[in-house]
Structure 1
Amino acid sequence: MKRKNIQNTNGINISDSIVMSVKQKHPSMRKFYAAAISVIGMLSVVMSFLGMYHFRYSKSTVVAAFFCFAAFHILIALKGGKALGAYLLSLMGFFFFVYKKKKKILLGYKFVYNVICKEAFDSNATLYTDLKKALEISHVTTLFVLYIWLLAIVICYFTICRPNPVLPLMVTFPVLEIGMYNGVKMPVFWGIMCIAYWLAILAMSTIDVGEYSGGQSGFVRKNNLFFPKRHMKLKVTERCGMFVIASVMIVAVLANCYLNLTHYKRSDSINEKRRDISDAVEDFSFRNFGESITNLTEAFGFEFDYENYKMGTVAHVRYKNVTDLTVTIEKPVSGALYLKDNIRSVYHDNEWFLLPSSKYKDKVFSDFKEYGVSPQNFPAIFGNYIKRKDDKNTIWIKNSPRKKRRVFSPYGVENFGKIKYTNDTLLFPETEKKGETSYKFVPTNPDNMEVLLGTGMDVFFANSNSDALILNPSSNSSLSSARNIFSASEIKDTKWKDKVIKYCKDNDLITYDDYFCIDFELPADAAYLYEHGNIIMAELLQNSYKKFVYENYLDVPDNKDMDEVREAYSDLVNVKHGNTPEEVFEILNNIRIRMAANNTYTLEPGATPPTRDFINYFLLEKHEGYCTHYASSGVILARMAGIPARYATGYIILDDDIKGGKINDDESVTIEVKDNKSHAWAEIYIDGIGWIPYEFTADYIHQNIPPETTISSETTTTTQSGSTTTTTTGTSVSNTSKNTAITSAHTSTTVTDTSVVTTDVKGGKGGKGAHIPSFIKDILFIILFIAAIVLLVQARRTLILRLRDKRFKSGDNSTRIRYMYSYAEKLLAELNLRNEYGKYKQFAAEVEKYHGDIYFEKGGFEKITDIALGSAFNNETPSDEDIKKCEKILNDLAETIFKKSDRLQKFTLVYLKVLVKGE
């Protein structure tokens, strides 16, 4: 059929258009699909939520309410028109119901919340305790009926009438997130259905029918006729929503069937990667958002170390059986070897913090720097004096790439001039060689210092808790009779002699001539001390440091939770005692035995309820935990007993690990330290010795190690630290003597929980001991996340600008003008000008009429159009001069559009649409 053109007397051309219609062969299924999607959405959410918990409610009433509300609102939505007014009536009825039954609904919520707490934390912990059990079923049923009513209103209307994912997501996701937040597993099938529904409604709402002029415009030639190109969006209707749901379910079912029928077996590396991703996703929690993101990024092979010290946020611990450290020891040592990388001292709100930096302004820390002795050196200095033998050793520690930001150190490190100290907590070498650190140290833990409880300490600690004897210079008493009086002139080592004299004079300790007093008695072989002036210097500094220790490391939170713990352990912590090692270890040993008897070691204790104190919940209710639970509780109980203590994390190496290590040609031993050797323990302060590790974790006696969960390539197995395997997880309590406290230092199983083993700075480098609140850490994490998004947006913008510039300046001129015209169309679209009918000359005239000589020079866009049409249809090649003129016109157009835009439009043009440079 030919098109007929009619010339009217008024100069208007009227052109016929042909309209064709095709009779629909099949009835429309849109309403049916929409109703089906609504039912799937409602059913999947309700079944997912109810499948996560075990509520007591009337199932028949809830089922009846579901079908009644669903049918009523679907029928109204399908009817449409004036019938939609019933939605308003239904919504009014809903709010009236809420108002009339608000007390019943609130009580039902309390019952539901208690059940959620019980399921989430696997305990009998309840927030609301004044509830009558007889009311539970009726009140919970009322709450569920209310929710189903609201669900029907929102889902049916915003799926059938006005597809929009916002409100449906707001009423469905939060109820499911309650469980996911606390680590409760969702039914897999219904969880997939929920995701399918969300994707379906998103697809239905975001894509619709229409045309656009984006991309390259042009004509299609057929003989001598030219037809404009049309770029159409396809419409996604309810059928496509059903297609999305069906696709999700079919893919899931087929994948499962294929794997089962073919007995497909993945490689070990794929299995491990899949397990890491699965564990990270399963453990994801908004309560522990930063660590969850860290686990996810590590599972996908990226490093994102978010540091968090909140306790009780991890429900279970899993190990990957990977090597974290490679340790070489010059000579084998007996007993456990602790490698620490973090010390925490202040317990508050279920979290361990550093001491405030203001605490370290004490004069004693200036003395430590001036005289070259630090608290970290005390165990080595005093240990050598006690044992009277050279027990020095050397250790080399090489971190794996996943631990490259951490620095680990043993106890008893000597100061050989190349060590830096972080206050009284950590230390690290001044330089590292290819990620390897090394230390000279004296093995220091209760096990290899058993002489502490023997006669070897009797003289050393005889007066450790008494005031120093101050002599009266006018007294005729013999100085030799006072066994804690030292003469500075008799110190053999000139270096230390000068330092001791200076310190004594600066602190007014000289009592007569060059005599001064310290807290331990002069032993029979006083010559040893006079030959080792560093011991005298260390004891003088320790006398001052003890005051700092007892002022800062005995703090216990003053609240009801700690009062309950103190009451439960009152027979152990309220005992009067001195500070001799025998008395200290006796109390600590009794605490450890009580904790072992009352609690069970497990790697799956569940998370601590947000409303509960971590230590109180572990000791008095849950009674299940791993090393972080035992160490934290032990520190607090020791402090209640008047024993300075603090919380430490790092790695542990046992006798069996050393015996199973590789013996090198020089008789040194190399040990591969796996991730299941990460650990948490307590540090206690012994007067005259310093800070030493102490083990509170249950079943850690004589290496009776609880089983460690490690991940193999095929299955999850239970292994022991040594070569043997055990499946026993029960708690054992053995009859021990005083020395049991010593031998209890043998430990093994521990956690890689970043909430307890991370450190705020690299091995304490540059750390000032400042306390960083959790909310500040979260803010920093959000800032980093936003920064990453900004970098991605900026990178995208840079790429688009470079690509556009390349297209404008390279290639043949015909291609360049085609890109330029397409760019001009995008710019003009910002002025609501679009070439909808492919009439380029007419479109150019319209642009010139409204915007010529405003956004560009008069006739500029017509010139671009003529050059582009000549190139496209007449095979005319634009000259370089034409290209330059077109480029200038486009730059003027872009700059003027940018200048006339408001701030939001400018941001959109520069960063989102990337149409202008914005310079």
Structure 2
Amino acid sequence: MKRKNIQNKNGISISDSIVMSVKRKHANYRKPFSAAIAIIGFVSIIKAFLGMFHFHYSVSTVFMAAAVIGAFYLTLSIISKRALWVYAASVIVFVVCAYRKAAKIALGFKFIYNIVYKDAYHSEIEYYKGLKSALEVSSVNTLFIFYIWLLAIIVFFFTICRPNPVLPLMVTFPVLEIGMYNGIRVPVFWGILCIAFWLALLAMSTIDVGEYSGGQSGFVRKNDLFFPKRHMKLKVTEKCGMLIIASVVAVAAVSSCFLKLTHYKRSEKIDNKRREITEALNDFSFDNLAESLSNLSNAIGLDFEYENHKLGTNDHVKYKNVTDLTVTLEHPTDNAIYLKDYAGAIYKNNEWFGLPSSAYKNGTIKDFDSYDIHPQDYPGLFSKLLDPSLEETTIWIKPSAKKSRHLYSPYGTINVGSLSYNKDLTVSDGKAKKGECSYKFINLDTNSIYDQLITVSEQNSQRNSREVYSASDIKPAALRDRIQKYCDEKGLISYDDFFPVDFGIPADPEYLLSKGDVLLAELMHNSYKDFVYENYLKVPDTAAMKEVEDAYSDIITMYDGSVSSEFETLNAIRDRMSSECTYSLYPRKTPSNRDFVNYFLLENKKGYCTHYATSGVMLARMAGIPARYATGYILVEKDIEGGHSSSDGSVTIDVKDNRSHAWAEIYVDNIGWIPYEFTAGYSAQEINTQPVTTAEPTTAEDATTTTNDPASRTTGTVSKAAATTTSTAVTTKTATSIAKGGAGSGSGHGIHIPKVLKNILLLLLALILITAFILLRRKFILSLREKRFTTGKAERKVRYMYAYAEKLLEALDMKSENGNYNSFADEVEKAYGGIYFNEGAFRKLTDTALRASFSKDTPTDKDIEESRRTIEAISDKLYKKASRFDKLRLMYINVLK
């Protein structure tokens, strides 16, 4: 290298060439080190992935291909520059071959994903159906060989030739994440080597080659030349990478030995919390983001509840054995009590929705509010008509703080003037505070209602159910006027003030005339039935539903419109589901390419209340029986018997989270909407369920199970017959039960918290906190500004307004530099007068502010009003002329608008 010498006045020559001396010559191990790191990464990724699952492939073929491909690209990478053209050509060959084999590669992916799915969810169900097993080995071999080829191209080049962790991480981490995300344990040794490889590659790409370290810096002078001190050492990035790999392996080994020697064991409390957080992370789904964040926050200890009615998103469910509701009954009652807070009408894309608002524009629905008679009143009114011996009682419901946003109500409520109605769906106490509410109600027994209706229908065959009444005979004047008005509007008056009523239930005329609300309810019920049959018989028109309909065709064709055949059909549906499907808290998630009902009834055949209830509703609709989906809580007779009795005869029950429930509602002519239980193992007296554990092994500390999913919890039932078809072993429900989302609860697999998922969640949490801070800051500044503009002395108001105007003008690049307010006002008027505000307005604002600050004159209300108009004009015009980005900045960063 040519050296240029510069002579200064001191006679010292400075050379632009650098001469360094070293103590002795060392061998250059950079290539061997980088090659070793690449080989470690290449082999550990392959062994780690293949060690997580049991794939069907030719081991010899795949490993021979890995050895040949690895050796080829290792050689090319070591040769480096002289073989780059060969490297590039091989990449082209790879792309061409992959394109030609795309179909076989895709088929191989389906085969391996089926195995991943089975291992992750401990199921024998295949995600991709109809694959030919004869093609499995060859297609999986093809997929593995092409992945190994891609892995070799990237790992060897970006480790040896151009150290960079981005692409190697992109092709290695997702492969391991497939297992880790689903809780599959990575082989420990190979997993540690994978981590060591990533860290080594990261270090190699960030440590500067040629950085000096070790000892004191400095130079020694020899004549007019300066030499670095001999004890200075040169960092070699590849050597650092090897040290990192060695360090990671050593730390892992020492830690493992220490834990084994000390017999270290975490406390049960830490284990439970770790398990909850781990499984909340493993159950995280972007398809169900809000609920996933809710579950995660609850696992951390923050009470944030989110509830939707999407089905099949939970791997399994749990109870925490906490009290969700405290219920007090005026006196004990027989039969199960259902406390409802949601009713779903439309089943679509594995989720329940309400009816569209257009459906409620029906005149019949509007009559409910007009005449203060609602479908929710029908069961209470008509069941009393069916069985006069039924007694009313009062129930008080007090939810926990977490459930205080929900309002729960029993069936058979009596309107005593304080009820609030949500369309034809739910009813609530209009006086409720923080969820606390009370109702008068008649506890319904579905079996008894059907038995009595069957008897009545037989009697009706021998009598005319149509009766004629006179409005003038109705004793309560207010009710008489309402009925007269309704009959006039609907054209029901036959002559004078007589009107016909088609009563399906025989009743004492004197009782009906003294209870005009029953007559009006019956008149409106006859109209509401049309609405029910129009909206609550809809079934998705899909191939999956057609398959279900064909499978249950022998049952759904039983219904002929009679009450007895309706009851028989519902019981037959329940019995078929109980015999063919198993109640289980481990149904695993429904594959995204499956229909929830079809998958439960025809493939997986395992589920809990949401599975039975949803399927029962769809099958009832297929038969022609109006039905819908409901959620809330259930109390069975054993719960009531186990409550705390008071001296006044009342009984108080702590309703645990294990009584959260989903069930079906059936619309019964002449009665209304009543609960019907399809879930196996539930009766009005007790809950007898024994979750299947043959495919769901657990550890000793995880031996018990329960549920935490609001709309998809366990089940409850009104059917007494169902109890005889199920096991009598009652599931123990404790706080140590298996947590929801247990992707790692299967045999032979541990639980691993995906690091990438942690980072995503932390990023989301950070974004939420930042957004909350920005919004709260904006709200605080706007509130404070408004307070300063409207309260206090007039002088201070004007000064604040002028200061705000200065900030607005700064956004327009107008700023007073010399402190001369009058000259600044002239500049502003010249630049923006007549554009951003009326000419002379800013001059007037300046004069008012100066007088307020430096004289004894107090600004008048008119002065303040004009000043306010000026700053608002500037603010509005500034915002209007700004770009979209600047508008966001003005609103949320500068908070000037």
TM-score normalised to structure 1 length: 0.70
Deviations 1:48-83 (A, max 9, x none): 432343321110121122233233323433443333
Q: Give the counterpart letter for 1:686 in structure 2.
A: V
Deviations 1:807-839 (A, max 9, x none): xxxxxxxxxxxxxxxxxxxxxxxxxxxxxxxxx
Q: CA deviation at 1:118?
A: 4.7
Q: How many residues align?
A: 733
Q: Look up the SS of the partner of 2:502 in the other structure.
A: coil
Question: What CA distance in whole angstroms lies between the structure 1 residues aligned with 2:483 and 2:235?
Answer: 89
Question: What CA distance in whole angstroms lies between the structure 1 residues aligned with 2:667 and 2:443?
Answer: 16
Q: Give the counterpart letter for 2:341 in structure 1.
A: D
Q: CA deviation at 1:539?
A: 1.1
Question: What CA distance in whole angstroms lies between the structure 2 residues aligned with 1:174 and 1:88?
Answer: 25
The answer to whether the Cα contact below 8 Å between 2:329 and 2:393 also exists between their aligned partners in 1 is: yes
Q: Look up the SS of the partner of 1:80 in the other structure.
A: helix
Task: Please say which of residues 525-534 and 241-250 is displaced more in the overlay.
Answer: 241-250
Equivalent residue, structure 2, for 1:127: 128
Equivalent residue, structure 1, for 2:217: none
Q: Look up the SS of the partner of 2:658 in the other structure.
A: helix
Deviations 1:660-719 (A, max 9, x none): 222234432222222222211111011111111111111324536113699999822337
Equivalent residue, structure 1, for 2:446: 446
Deviations 1:438-479 (A, max 9, x none): 2222212415xx15413x77448966999xx8xxxxxxxxxx
Q: CA deviation at 1:346?
A: 1.0
Q: Given the superposition, is the C-alpha separation of residues 104 and 363 from structure 1 closer, same or farther in structure 2, using an over 3 Å criterion?
A: closer
The answer to whether the Cα contact below 8 Å between 1:700 and 1:744 also exists between their aligned partners in 2 is: no
Q: Which of 494, 499, 504 is equivalent to 2:487? A: 504
Question: What CA distance in whole angstroms lies between the structure 2 residues aligned with 1:528 and 1:744?
Answer: 42
Equivalent residue, structure 1, for 2:45: 45
Q: Given the superposition, is the C-alpha separation of residues 237 and 334 from structure 1 closer, same or farther in structure 2, using an over 3 Å criterion?
A: farther
**Matching of residue 91 in structure 1 with residue 91 in structure 2:** yes
Q: Which of 658, 661, 667 is equivalent to 2:643? A: 661
Equivalent residue, structure 1, for 2:343: 343
Q: Which of 526, 530, 533 is equivalent to 1:543? A: 526
Q: Look up the SS of the partner of 2:664 in the other structure.
A: strand
Q: Given the superposition, is the C-alpha separation of residues 6 and 25 from structure 1 closer, same or farther in structure 2, using an over 3 Å criterion?
A: closer
Q: Give the counterpart letter for 1:716 in structure 2.
A: D
Question: What CA distance in whole angstroms lies between the structure 2 residues aligned with 1:386 and 1:201?
Answer: 79
Equivalent residue, structure 2, for 1:568: 551
Question: What CA distance in whole angstroms lies between the structure 2 residues aligned with 1:503 and 1:917?
Answer: 57
Q: Given the superposition, is the C-alpha separation of residues 525 and 64 from structure 1 closer, same or farther in structure 2, using an over 3 Å criterion?
A: same
Deviations 1:145-203 (A, max 9, x none): 11101001112222333233332233224434555666766556655554554444345
Question: What CA distance in whole angstroms lies between the structure 2 residues aligned with 1:566 and 1:501?
Answer: 46
Q: Given the superposition, is the C-alpha separation of residues 742 and 424 from structure 1 closer, same or farther in structure 2, using an over 3 Å criterion?
A: farther
Q: CA deviation at 1:549?
A: 0.4
**Matching of residue 155 in structure 1 with residue 155 in structure 2:** yes
Q: Give the counterpart letter for 2:702 in structure 1.
A: T
Question: What CA distance in whole angstroms lies between the structure 2 residues aligned with 1:285 and 1:279?
Answer: 12
The answer to whether the Cα contact below 8 Å between 1:484 and 1:518 also exists between their aligned partners in 2 is: yes
Q: Look up the SS of the partner of 1:518 in the other structure.
A: strand
Question: What CA distance in whole angstroms lies between the structure 1 residues aligned with 2:71 and 2:891?
Answer: 47
The answer to whether the Cα contact below 8 Å between 1:268 and 1:713 also exists between their aligned partners in 2 is: no
Q: Give the counterpart letter for 2:451 in structure 1.
A: L
1:62-141 equivalences under 5 Å are 62-119=62-119, 122-125=123-126, 127=128, 129=130, 131=132, 133-141=133-141
Equivalent residue, structure 2, for 1:296: 296
Q: CA RMSD in A?
A: 4.7
Deviations 1:582-615 (A, max 9, x none): 3322210111111111111111122222222211
1:146-185 equivalences under 5 Å are 146-179=146-179
Q: Given the superposition, is the C-alpha separation of residues 573 and 245 from structure 1 closer, same or farther in structure 2, using an over 3 Å criterion?
A: farther
Q: Give the counterpart letter for 1:715 in structure 2.
A: E
Question: What CA distance in whole angstroms lies between the structure 2 residues aligned with 1:47 and 1:713?
Answer: 27
Equivalent residue, structure 2, for 1:613: 595
Question: What CA distance in whole angstroms lies between the structure 1 residues aligned with 2:530 and 2:585?
Answer: 38
Question: What CA distance in whole angstroms lies between the structure 1 residues aligned with 2:702 and 2:314?
Answer: 19
Q: CA deviation at 1:906?
A: 10
Question: What CA distance in whole angstroms lies between the structure 2 residues aligned with 1:254 and 1:181?
Answer: 27
Q: CA deviation at 1:289?
A: 4.1
Question: What CA distance in whole angstroms lies between the structure 1 residues aligned with 2:699 and 2:401?
Answer: 21
Q: Look up the SS of the partner of 2:130 in the other structure.
A: coil
Q: Give the counterpart letter for 2:577 in structure 1.
A: M
Equivalent residue, structure 1, for 2:754: none
Give the unaligned 5+ runs of structure 1.
Answer: 212-233, 470-481, 722-728, 730-735, 756-780, 799-855, 858-901
Question: What CA distance in whole angstroms lies between the structure 2 residues aligned with 1:206 and 1:683?
Answer: 64
Equivalent residue, structure 2, for 1:716: 702
Equivalent residue, structure 1, for 2:143: 143
Q: Look up the SS of the partner of 1:43 in the other structure.
A: helix
Equivalent residue, structure 1, for 2:829: none
1:417-456 equivalences under 5 Å are 417-446=417-446, 450-454=448-452
Question: What CA distance in whole angstroms lies between the structure 1 residues aligned with 2:86 and 2:776?
Answer: 48
Q: Give the counterpart letter for 2:432 in structure 1.
A: E
Q: CA deviation at 1:635?
A: 0.5
Equivalent residue, structure 1, for 2:866: none
Q: Which of 615, 637, 656 is equivalent to 1:674? A: 656
**Matching of residue 516 in structure 1 with residue 499 in structure 2:** yes
Q: CA deviation at 1:507?
A: 0.8
Q: Given the superposition, is the C-alpha separation of residues 124 and 299 from structure 1 closer, same or farther in structure 2, using an over 3 Å criterion?
A: closer
Question: What CA distance in whole angstroms lies between the structure 1 residues aligned with 2:144 and 2:134?
Answer: 17
Q: Give the counterpart letter for 1:129 in structure 2.
A: G
Q: Given the superposition, is the C-alpha separation of residues 245 and 667 from structure 1 closer, same or farther in structure 2, using an over 3 Å criterion?
A: farther
Indicate the percent of aligned positions where both proteins have the same amino acid: 50
Question: What CA distance in whole angstroms lies between the structure 1 residues aligned with 2:392 and 2:287?
Answer: 46
Task: Please say which of residues 667-676 and 493-502 is displaced more in the overlay.
Answer: 667-676
The answer to whether the Cα contact below 8 Å between 2:210 and 2:236 also exists between their aligned partners in 1 is: no
Equivalent residue, structure 2, for 1:596: 578
Question: What CA distance in whole angstroms lies between the structure 2 residues aligned with 1:753 and 1:310?
Answer: 19
Q: Give the counterpart letter for 1:314 in structure 2.
A: N
Equivalent residue, structure 2, for 1:830: none
1:611-650 equivalences under 5 Å are 611-650=593-632
The answer to whether the Cα contact below 8 Å between 1:700 and 1:746 also exists between their aligned partners in 2 is: no
Q: Give the counterpart letter for 1:127 in structure 2.
A: Y
Task: Please say which of residues 570-579 and 180-189 is displaced more in the overlay.
Answer: 180-189
The answer to whether the Cα contact below 8 Å between 2:279 and 2:739 also exists between their aligned partners in 1 is: no
Q: Look up the SS of the partner of 2:545 in the other structure.
A: helix
Deviations 1:295-320 (A, max 9, x none): 22221123444444332222222222
1:209-248 equivalences under 5 Å are 237-242=237-242
Q: Look up the SS of the partner of 2:67 in the other structure.
A: helix
**Matching of residue 585 in structure 1 with residue 583 in structure 2:** no
Q: Look up the SS of the partner of 2:703 in the other structure.
A: strand
Q: CA deviation at 1:424?
A: 0.9
Q: CA deviation at 1:140?
A: 1.8
The answer to whether the Cα contact below 8 Å between 1:707 and 1:718 also exists between their aligned partners in 2 is: no
Equivalent residue, structure 2, for 1:740: 721
Question: What CA distance in whole angstroms lies between the structure 1 residues aligned with 2:462 and 2:200?
Answer: 75
Question: What CA distance in whole angstroms lies between the structure 2 residues aligned with 1:597 and 1:293?
Answer: 37
Q: Given the superposition, is the C-alpha separation of residues 15 and 158 from structure 1 closer, same or farther in structure 2, using an over 3 Å criterion?
A: closer
Equivalent residue, structure 2, for 1:865: none
Q: CA deviation at 1:504?
A: 1.0
Q: Look up the SS of the partner of 1:718 in the other structure.
A: coil
**Matching of residue 489 in structure 1 with residue 472 in structure 2:** yes
Q: Look up the SS of the partner of 2:341 in the other structure.
A: strand
Q: Given the superposition, is the C-alpha separation of residues 301 and 66 from structure 1 closer, same or farther in structure 2, using an over 3 Å criterion?
A: same
Deviations 1:511-566 (A, max 9, x none): 12221111216846321112211111111111111110011111111222222211
Q: Given the superposition, is the C-alpha separation of residues 698 and 505 from structure 1 closer, same or farther in structure 2, using an over 3 Å criterion?
A: same
Q: Give the counterpart letter for 1:678 in structure 2.
A: S
**Matching of residue 376 in structure 1 with residue 376 in structure 2:** yes
Q: Give the counterpart letter for 2:526 in structure 1.
A: N
Deviations 1:206-230 (A, max 9, x none): 565799xxxxxxxxxxxxxxxxxxx
Question: What CA distance in whole angstroms lies between the structure 2 residues aligned with 1:614 and 1:570?
Answer: 19
Q: Give the counterpart letter for 2:128 in structure 1.
A: L
Q: CA deviation at 1:328?
A: 2.3
Q: CA deviation at 1:500?
A: 1.2
Q: CA deviation at 1:246?
A: 5.3
Equivalent residue, structure 1, for 2:768: 788
Equivalent residue, structure 1, for 2:367: 367
Q: CA deviation at 1:657?
A: 1.6
